[in-house]
Amino acid sequence: VSKDSQMLTDSRGKFIYVGDSASLSFLGSVRSTLRAAVGPCPFTNEPARNPMLETTPKIRFEMVREPSIDLATPQSIAKEFFLAVSGILDFFDPPWLLAQLQDWAEQPSQMTKAKSAIIHLALAIGFQGRAHGDLDDLLSEQCFAFGRQLTMFNLIDDPSLATVQAVILITYHMIAACQYNAAFINLGIAARAAYTLGIHLHETNKAFGGEEGLARERAWKSLRVCDLFLAASLGRPPATTEAVSNIAWVPLKSSRDYERPDVAGQVFSAMFRICNVFERILVEVYAEKAISLELARSISQQHRQWTEELPRMLMVDGIDEPDAEQNHGASPRSFCLSPKQGSCIVTLAYYYSIVLLTKPFLTFRVHHASGKEFSKSESSAIMISLATYADACVNSAIKGIDIAYEYVFELNSPSRQPIVVNIVFISALCLGLAYLDNSGRHTWPVNPLLNRAIKILVHLGKLNPQASRFAGICEQLKEAVAIYTMRRDNNLLSENDKVVRSIFGDLRA
């Protein structure tokens, strides 16, 4: 394998592909840059491409048994499920799941295989998110193994909406369990099932109408979120696309579109629309391995439109802040939970998309436009635009870390949140790279933000080995930045000392 290869090893030593948008690929780029600027140190001495750290399922297919769960438990774990997936998955409302749990508790033998699979997978994610000790971990693994077995044995050969929902739930559980490659493969199954059923066609879903049409739209939206997150974090092509439907990005004009969203109104979802932005970035920037100012302006225009309509789009997703004067009771979609967690995840996705779009500009400025070379061209409109997008990368990385800190430490958030881990890590790498920018435009608060990022990753690393490893890498990055700062300051002092001695004389003479 050549040095320029985009292959790295997994936990078992097999070679796997990880593309340019992946945080592990960006880590290699930052390492190379700091190696040239700092020389040998713990951060730069590591291999350019670290192996991908993954876990393995604890229960094999042949060992699967139906889990024994206290009948009083599922109701509380259902809340943990909606807390864990808020802002990510949007299959069904709490009343539907509660009704299914009640039927399952009273007449388990009457429950269909499809509904039983979905119930067990939802409970698995709920236990996984709560993570109150070894018992929760065991029950999560047992529910997941049983739900996955029901799905593979009963739903794969006869595709249905339940197939799509169940396999996406399997995918999400695997992502949260640090099993990214297995999740990526399973998501491909969900995508093919969705295409088989025509769920990717909005006009077809509208033709179904009613609850079924709405469920199809929400399944497609949830599939898109998982797909674009995996594609971005692993640097691989998305399995889904909106190119077939070609839905125009039109503004929300009628309150009917967002206050009581029907099948057609789902295209106004904040989650759905930010996924469309991610798709453009992955397909038009990273797949082409090139970016222009014109393309960046086009995509950033979609970002502006997204921010202008965000409050109304969150209503479509059911994660808006309710108006106390107009809402005297809990929304059927809220489960009496604060929508803050979901809106934080959606906002993090927005900043993550900006980081992905603009980090090529930051890399360019650090590598090619620093110091005197940058100053000579600084007056040109092109260089100013390049600098603006480079600054946007750092600014968005800072905002992303701040929001992630609030999500992890100030809200009642789940103990496992893989999306937060990936966003915080790539944001920390951007801050480390930004410190090498000698253009003098800004002095970024790198150290306080790196400390925040490390604190987040250490906290989540208690249950996520990938987060724990990222925390260690960020500690090394912080040390490398400190070495660079000390050498830069010493060089500046030495240059200034020469000037002073030339004016006032040299006592050493």
The first and second tokens of residue 286, run together, are 């990273």
Residue 375 domain flag: no
**Lowest-confidence region among 271-280, 283-292, 362-371:** 362-371
pTM of the model: 0.91
Determine, yes or no, domain membership for 85.
yes
| AA identity, residue 355 | V
97 in any annotated domain: yes
- pLDDT band for 415, please (50, 70, 90 cuts): confident
Tokens coding 364: 């360019």
CB 80 within 8 Å of CB 126: yes
Residues 352 and 400: beta-carbon distance below 8 Å: yes
Residues 245 and 140: their CA atoms lie apart, in Å, by: 37
- Position 3 scores a pLDDT of 40
Q: pLDDT tens digit string along 300-321?
A: 999 999 999 998 898 888 887 6
**Is 439 part of any domain?**
no
Paired tokens of 292: 């222009």
For residue 480, which amino acid is it? A
Residue type, 327: N
Residue 430 within a domain: no
Residue 389 inside a domain? The answer is: no
Point out the least confidently predicted range of 62-71, 97-106, 146-155, 316-325.
316-325
pLDDT, the chain, mean: 87
Spatial distance between the Cα atoms of 130 and 476, rounded to a whole number of angstroms: 31
pLDDT in tens, 225-284: 999 999 999 999 999 998 876 566 666 665 555 555 678 788 889 999 999 999 999 999
Of 402, 379, 504, 394, which Cα lies nearest the Cα of 452? 402
Q: What is the enclosing helix (H) or strand (E) of 109?
A: none
Looking from the CA of 220 toward its CB, the CA atoms found within 13 Å total: 30
Q: Which of 90, 79, 166 is nearest to 127 (CA)?
A: 79
Q: Compute CA distances 185 → 95, 233, 277, whole Å.
A: 31, 14, 23
Q: What would the mean pLDDT of 161-182 be, rounded to a whole number?
A: 97
Whether pLDDT at 359 is above 80: yes
473 in any annotated domain: no
Confidence of residue 350 (pLDDT cuts 50, 70, 90): very high
Could you tell me which residues are beta bridge partners of residue 15? 9
**CA-closest candidate to residue 229, choices 274, 190, 270:** 274
Could you tell me which of 500, 498, 492, 465 has the C-alpha nearest to residue 53? 465
User: Is the separation of the CB atoms in 226 and 218 below 8 Å?
Assistant: no
Q: How confident is the model at residue 14 (pLDDT cuts 50, 70, 90)?
A: confident
Q: Which helix or strand (DSSP H or E) is residue 437 part of? A: none
Across 386-394, average pLDDT: 94
Q: What is the pLDDT of residues 26-37, one digit of tens each?
A: 999 999 999 988
Query: Residue 184: its pLDDT value, please?
Result: 97
Residue-number span of the structural domain to which 166 is assigned:
59-197
Establish if 68 belongs to a structural domain.
yes
- Phi, psi at residue 338, to the nearest 5°? -65, 140
Eight-class DSSP state of 182: H
Q: Give yes or no for a contact between 361 and 393, defined as CB atoms under 8 angstroms apart.
A: yes
Predicted confidence (pLDDT) at residue 326 exceeds the cutoff of 70:
no
The encoded tokens of residue 41 equal 């140190």
Total structural domains within the chain: 1
Q: What's the rounded Cα separation, in Å, for the pair 124 and 120?
A: 6
